Structure 1
Amino acid sequence: MTGGGNELAELSVRVVLYHRNQDGELSPVYPDSDDLLESATVLAAPINVPAAVVRALLDSEVPADFAEDPWLNRHRVLAFTNGRCRVAGYELRYHDKFGVYASEET
């Protein structure tokens, strides 16, 4: 018997969600708030997204502006164009009511 149940352990990453407009400019999903944490969430695998998505985001850099902020220093950025972005072979979608969810790329 091998040790532990690590394969079943929840894996998570903190992200700040942005919308990318047609000009490539980013704005938080809740632009009326002065607090970026209002546009933040935690993605957990396998509950919200596949583990490959969480691992890819954990491997990405924390933005320099976030690294200096004690509230955001573990957050990554997810930028959605038309409610979609791609991470680790999965298409992530954002919906105001349902949040972030993944569908496998074909």
Structure 2
Amino acid sequence: MRQAGTKKARSSQRQVAIVSRDLTATSLVEQDFARLYERACPEAVAHARTFLSHDEAWDVVQRTALELFERWDQMPLEHKTVAYFLRAVHRDILDDKRVEERYEGSHLSLE
């Protein structure tokens, strides 16, 4: 009996890996964007948290980052700033709120 309990305890041990959270940017464009993202992300999430839950804040920041990255090559240099990133996050938050309000306003009762 005792050995069975010991085996169970041993088999439930798990290995944990420590993984770096650094962005893996290979091209110059990716490296350029990664530098901006790493500077802007903490402030952008903190700002979004004033309007949204923790998970929703991260979602909107990630979605905004992806939108900006997709346009990165076409963006003028003056838009490649932390301030622009924060404005884009704020704009996306407001857009989401407008859609949410519109949906709630058009919700019909089935009674």
Relative to the length of structure 2, the TM-score reads 0.26
* Structure with higher strand content: 1
- Of structures 1 and 2, the larger Rg is shown by 2
* Structure with higher helix content: 2
Relative to the length of structure 1, the TM-score reads 0.27
